Chains A and B, each alone.
Chain A
Amino acid sequence: MTTTTLPRVERLLPSGPGGLTDPGLSGHLALHGPLTVPPRHDQAWSEALLAEVAAAGLTGRGGGGFPAAAKWEALRRAGRRPVVVVNAMEGEPASAKDRALLAWSPHLVLDGAELVAALSGARSVVVCVADDRDPSARAVRLAAAERSAAGAIREVTVRRPPARYVTGEESALVHWLADGDARPVLRVDKSVPLRLGRRPVLIHNAETLAQVALIARHGAAWFRNAGVPDAPGSTLVTVSGAVHTPGVVEVGLGTPVDEVVGRCGPTGPMAGYLVGGYGGAWLPPGMGSTPLAPGPLARVGATLGVGIVVALPAGSCGIAETARIARWMAGESAGQCGPCVYGLPGIAGDLELLAAGRADPGAIGRIDERSRSVVGRGACRHPDGVARMVRSALDVFAADAAAHGAGRPCAGRHAPSVLAFPAPPALVGEAS
């Protein structure tokens, strides 16, 4: 088990002596310093901020990994005054980072939203918090009230979309804001911005905006001090599973997976790591040294996703856990597209039988074939994520799968699941 060799990163969620204990406005300003945002559109200031964020190389922290500055460039061409939407939905059950941010640093998030609004000329900010996350909504409203009392001019509204996995998908969220229908919309050209009425929408994950707020204060060079050259900056990762203190940690991008897990006290040898979320991919324990960054993860068939690592202990059954995820994800389908509606339950059903050791000989082949078949055939990437996760499981747990398929399932399938549906683990440092 590797020990932490990289210095601890504490930017978004500072804690401990001298760190942030008061999430209120005065504590926030005392810790991070002031921030001047022009009340009206200032071309020079906007250009400077855009250049700084572009130089910092900030990519979206909501799973898409799209360069933040590029989104702003695309919006310039849209012409009209946009609406800024803060995506704090956090539909991934194994993620708690947005919740942590809103609890401990809501003003960083709102700073970022205000900066983006000033840059794009938006006058209103909409913060989307799932309807089962009342504490987060309260925290945002409190912070918005403090700011408004202190003279902030841009209106911040909190909306509560239904807490479903796909509601956090960009087009689904905007669809709900526009029509009350939280289902994804087919997007042919992703560079064309989504619209609310006639206004283009500038939508960012909460953590991305918090990073923007820090870059505006400290600059691109400071941002790049953490992370690695190809993947600069820090990121929040939710670690759960076989660890003593599950929760949210902040690490520089490029930190090896097992080091991230090491921060939370692994309980013993691992059978594998689920990286990126329930639509991410499994890694075998031998690949624990893979850096948590888009490039290296892509090379092993995984993604960064929204910064999630679930540690599966040795002795657990990867096939059973995969079956559980697949079944839950199948139930989270928006129900619009045939391949997702029928393909995912089909895959889940076969996985369940495989986990129980009662699958027919063709099951593994069928799971693989169906997983390949659903990719790219939905309006959103939900089936693609499930397919990736399932196929990585068949690869990483190949020996297990073969044994299960031959009617010799392992005892690990009776072990308690390390997955949570849908309430994820507590935050690091939070009083239990």
Chain B
Amino acid sequence: MNAAVAVALRVRVDPVACEAYGYCAELLPERVTLDEWGYPVVDGTPVGADLVDLARRAAAECPRRALLVEAVARTR
């Protein structure tokens, strides 16, 4: 099989929309921690299959829709 490109998912924050609710860090602590002012620090490592649903839920729960789950093309 010629699968040179695998698509990975990762989470990202839109810093303009973010208002430091912090729900993302509660739902997805594996990827999001909060700084001293309550704003998210996101770990950009890809989200494995075990975390995808939680990542999507975290993105859906954000009151400002500031957490994004995006696809990143990754070459093997």
- Residues in chain A within 8 A of chain B (CB atoms): 185-186, 188, 336-339, 342-343, 373, 377-379
Choose the segment among B3-11, B14-22, B23-31, B52-60 that binds chain A (4+ C-beta atoms closer than 8 Å).
Answer: B14-22
Contacts of A373 in B (CB 8 A): 35, 41
* B35 contacts A336, C-beta separation under 8 Å: no
Cα-based distance from A338 to B14 in the complex (angstroms): 11
Chain B nearest CB, measured from A361 CB (Å): 18
Chain B interface mostly: loop
Cα-based distance from A342 to B15 in the complex (angstroms): 13
Cα-based distance from A342 to B35 in the complex (angstroms): 11
* A336 contacts B41, C-beta separation under 8 Å: no
Cα-based distance from A338 to B38 in the complex (angstroms): 9
A-B pairs with beta carbons under 8 A, tally: 36
* A378 contacts B41, C-beta separation under 8 Å: no
* B14 contacts A186, C-beta separation under 8 Å: yes
Contacts of B35 in A (CB 8 A): 338-339, 343, 373
A377-B37 CB under 8 A given contacts A186-B15, A186-B16, A338-B15: no
Chain A nearest CB, measured from B23 CB (Å): 15
Nearest residue, chain B, Cβ from A334: B16
Nearest residue, chain A, Cβ from B13: A377
* A336 contacts B37, C-beta separation under 8 Å: no
Cα-based distance from A373 to B35 in the complex (angstroms): 8
Cα-based distance from A336 to B15 in the complex (angstroms): 7
Chain B nearest CB, measured from A350 CB (Å): 13
* B37 contacts A379, C-beta separation under 8 Å: no
Contacts of A185 in B (CB 8 A): 16
Q: List 9 A-B contacts (CB under 8 A).
A: A186-B16, A336-B16, A337-B15, A337-B39, A338-B20, A338-B39, A339-B15, A377-B13, A377-B41
Contacts of B16 in A (CB 8 A): 185-186, 336-337, 379
* A339 contacts B14, C-beta separation under 8 Å: no
Nearest residue, chain A, Cβ from B39: A338
Contacts of A378 in B (CB 8 A): 15
Contacts of A186 in B (CB 8 A): 14-16
* A338 contacts B18, C-beta separation under 8 Å: yes
Chain B nearest CB, measured from A174 CB (Å): 15
Q: A338-B18, A339-B35, A379-B14 are in contact. List 12 more A-B contacts (CB 8 A).
A: A336-B15, A337-B16, A337-B18, A338-B20, A338-B38, A339-B37, A342-B37, A342-B39, A343-B35, A373-B35, A377-B13, A377-B39
Nearest residue, chain B, Cβ from A337: B15
Cα-based distance from A339 to B37 in the complex (angstroms): 8
1/0 contact trace for B29-53 toward A, CB 8 Å? Answer: 0000001011101000000000000
Chain B nearest CB, measured from A345 CB (Å): 11
Contacts of A339 in B (CB 8 A): 15, 35, 37, 39
* A338 contacts B37, C-beta separation under 8 Å: yes
Cα-based distance from A186 to B14 in the complex (angstroms): 7
* A343 contacts B37, C-beta separation under 8 Å: yes
Contacts of B15 in A (CB 8 A): 186, 336-339, 377-379
Most buried by B among A337, A338, A339, A378: A338
Cα-based distance from A377 to B34 in the complex (angstroms): 12
Chain A nearest CB, measured from B33 CB (Å): 11
Nearest residue, chain A, Cβ from B68: A188
